[in-house]
Structure 1
Amino acid sequence: MPGPLHLKRSGPVTELVLNRPDRRNALTEQMWADLPGLLDEALEDDALRVLLVRGAGGHFTAGADIGEFADIYATETRADAYSVTIARALDALAAFPAPVVAKVEGACIGGGCGLALACDLRFATETARLGITPAKLGLAYPFNDTKRLVDAVGVSAAKDLIFTARHVGAEEALAMGLVDRVWPADRFETEFKAWLTPLLAGSPHTAKVMKRMIGLIASGTASETSETRELFRAAFGGADFQEGYNAFLEKRAPDFSKRTT
């Protein structure tokens, strides 16, 4: 029987499924701890092109499971260890080399919003309700999570969301950049497949390298480095470039499906 956090593979798309629908997929400490290992397991599949993070039962996740808080916040040492576990999970997701998409529906609150922000893109249904709520508990939002929020929505909107702890619907979230698409729930699969089609036709090496390059820019790299030069240069010796170049000369569509670069 599938666990509370598990992988579901379907060709080029691997799903990371939050599976506690009776608790709106609230994340336990063990789920946070298991996440990096599951990401490593997902990478063992050579067919993987996209990781889709979603919740079961109509919700993304209501965030951390507050039923554990009495134990977790009993001592400062215990609370610190919990925070480190969550940070490792979210940083591992943000660093995942393939494109990562969050399917945001229903509740996406607190740590759930942090999980969505660690994904490359957030595609929502009209049912989505997003909120960042440390102000309701007298807590602070972690630095890396806050940076990802500011990168997505800007300084003013980040302050608005954190100061008020208010929930925003899908359309407002789209307007501020908190999500990237909003689709009707009954059309989500169709729209997602349409978005996926050109990605699957493209080079997985390009996606991997450019995700790294964009990540460097987002983290503050402002000029060329030895790493960025090597990322650019190495592509010319790769199998994907050879296939793309040959396809161009032969006036056909490239086939990257059997390439590992």
Structure 2
Amino acid sequence: MTLRLLRQAGIATLLIDNPVRRNAMGRAMWQALPGLVAQAVADPAIAVLALTGQGAHFCGGADIAEFATGYATPEAASASNAAIRAAVDSLAECPKPVVAVIRGACIGGGVAMALACDIRIAAEDARFAVTPVKLGLIYSQSDTQRLIRTVGVGRAKEMLFTARMVEAAEALRIGLVERLLPPDDFEAGAAQILAGLAATSRPALRAVKRMADAIEAGAPPDAPELDALFEDQFRGADFAEGSAAFLAKRPPRFTAG
């Protein structure tokens, strides 16, 4: 297996560990991903999930070496596509924050996974491309929708039409990533950001994600379930601890949950 789940100090890291193939995702890896996400969700000690690649690259996309068998028949193609869709959706539907930690190449299916994450942190030497047209293919509806929501329809079409490489500075400018970090300090900088997230209130993190996702999906301004979500935080133990810590001028000691 070349996909691993690591746990440390409130952070679960999904590590794509296939560096000899630029961390390309094989079918077994796509199939394993939802179960690993579920493990991180079920672990109360985990506050945030990071997705990253081993070595110099994030992910080179689906492993083309498997295409001859994975897409040999219409039935095989449907099964392969379903496995990829379930993997990417498991990231998007994770109730805990998911952060893509990107260096080097982020191509094709790698971009699809990154788009399914809540936040994308990239090294200044990262580069991105959405390349299905080079194989006579297109992005799925859900992947195209996430790309359009992230960069806008015009830029999404241009990226999909041309399959060109987008350098990190442009990715930041168009909203494809939220943060850029220097390559020489990338691991330490990304670890600091993740640690900062893990130190905050875990129920609040999950509630923020639910709120933002519901609003993006078109929830009305007076949605009762979102009003309830807002009000519920005032009755939580973390609000009492956060308030006490603020008044005492000390860091809060939030409990896992």
TM over 0.5: yes
Tell me the equivalent position of 1:245.
Answer: 243
Look up the equivalent residue of 1:54 and give its one-letter code. T
| Alpha carbons 1:62, 1:109 under 8 Å: kept | yes
1:175 counterpart residue number:
173
Give the secondary structure class of the aligned counterpart of 1:52. Answer: strand
Q: Is the 8 A contact 2:44 2:256 kept in 1?
A: no
Contact 1:8 1:15 in 2 (8 A): yes
The residue correspondences of 1:72-87 to structure 2 (distance < 5 A) are 72-87=70-85
Q: In the alignment, does 2:229 pair up with 1:231?
A: yes
What TM-score results when the alignment is normalised by the length of structure 2? 0.93
Q: Which amino acid aligns with 1:72?
A: G
Name the SS of the counterpart of 1:53 in structure 2: strand
**Residue 10 (structure 1) aligns with:** 8
Unaligned regions of 5+ residues in structure 1, if any?
A: none
Q: Give the drift of 1:192.
A: 2.2
Q: By how many angstroms is 1:155 displaced?
A: 1.3
Instruction: Report which structure shows greater RCO (CA 8 Å, sep ≥6).
Output: 2
- For residues 148-199 of structure 1, give each alpha carbon's deviation from its aligned partner in whole angstroms, at most 9, with x where no partner exists: 1111111111111001111111111111111111112211133224434543
Deviates more, 1:243-252 or 1:212-221: 243-252
Determine the C-alpha separation between the residues in 1 that align with 2:245 and 2:156: 45
Number of the residue aligned with 1:113 = 111
1:65 to 57, 63, 66: 63
Check if 1:190 corresponds to 2:188: yes
Following the alignment from structure 2 to structure 1, what is the Cα–Cα distance between the partners of residues 67 and 194? 39
1:152 to 138, 150, 163: 150
SS at match of 1:84: helix
Inter-CA distance 209–180: structure 2 relative to 1 (3 Å threshold): same
Matched with 2:46 is 48
Structure-1 separation of matches of 2:137 and 2:10? 39
Preserved CA contact (<8 Å) 1:6 1:18: yes
CA RMSD of aligned residues (A): 1.7
CA distance in 2, matches of 1:192, 1:144: 28
Count of residue pairs the alignment pairs up:
257
What is the percentage of aligned positions where both structures have the same residue? 47
Amino acid at match of 1:66: I
> Partner residue of 1:142?
140
Q: Which moved more, 1:122-131 or 1:206-215?
A: 122-131
Give the whole-Å Cα distance in 2 for the aligned partners of 1:215 and 1:182: 24
Q: CA deviation at 1:251?
A: 4.9
Q: Secondary structure at the match of 1:43?
A: helix
Q: Is the contact between residue 151 and residue 218 of structure 1 (CA under 8 Å) also seen in structure 2?
A: no
Please state how far the C-alpha of 1:48 moved relative to its aligned partner: 1.4
Asked if the contact 1:239–1:259 (Cα under 8 Å) also holds between the matched residues in 2, the reply is: no
In 2, Cα distance between equivalents of 1:101 and 1:156: 25
251 and 104 in structure 1: CA distance in 2 versus 1, 3 angstrom threshold: closer
Q: Residue 237 of structure 1 aligns to which amino acid in structure 2?
A: R
Give 1:220's aligned residue. Answer: 218
